[in-house]
Structure 1
Amino acid sequence: MIRYRLKELMAEHQFKTGARLTFDEIAKATAIHRTTLSKIANQRSYNTTTDNIDKLCDFFNCEVGEIMEHVKKID
């Protein structure tokens, strides 16, 4: 299963800058709809486009592995 780390990146940003980062701010900067950002952050196994991942990598100045990770399912 793919797990997105969007909430963690937002928390890291807040810790580093002292400023709260909202989905609205990310949406304005990346042109990713706020609803899509919410789904990436909150829905398990949400499937988004590589274009969105690319935009988030640019926004957070990070690599793909910092945005998402593979987690093995426990049966």
Structure 2
Amino acid sequence: MIRFRLKELLADKAFRERRVVTLAEVAEVTGIHRITLSKIANHVGYNTGTDNLDKLCEYFGCPLEDLAQHIPAGSSAADLSTPDGEGGA
């Protein structure tokens, strides 16, 4: 399954720029509908197109591997909670 790290990238950008970065702002700049961004951020395994991934990588100035993470089949819920997919402990 693919896990998107959109929430983490939003938090990192907000921290770096010392301001709130909203999905509405990302939607306006990228042209990706806000509801689509919400699904990418909140639904593990959401299926989106490569054009959206390209736009998000451009917006955040990051490579694809910073935006998307492969979670092997059979991984536990704890594996989904950490950025590296290695679980919590």
Superposed pair shares fold, TM > 0.5:
yes
**How do 1:4-19 residues align onto structure 2 when only pairs under 5 Å count?**
4-19=4-19
| Structure exhibiting the larger radius of gyration computed from Cα positions | 2
Q: CA deviation at 1:44?
A: 1.4
Note the aligned Cα RMSD (angstroms).
0.9
Q: CA deviation at 1:74?
A: 2.5
Q: Which has the higher helix share?
A: 1
Q: Point out where structure 1 has 5 or more consecutive residues left out of the alignment.
A: none
What is the CA–CA distance in structure 1 between the aligned matches of 2:21 and 2:73, rounded to whole Å? 31
Q: Point out where structure 2 has 5 or more consecutive residues left out of the alignment.
A: 76-89
Query: Percent identity over the alignment?
Result: 49
The equivalent residue for 2:65 is: 65
Q: CA deviation at 1:40?
A: 0.1
**How do 1:1-75 residues align onto structure 2 when only pairs under 5 Å count?**
1-74=1-74
Equivalenced residues, count: 75
Task: State the TM-score, normalizing by the size of structure 2.
Answer: 0.81
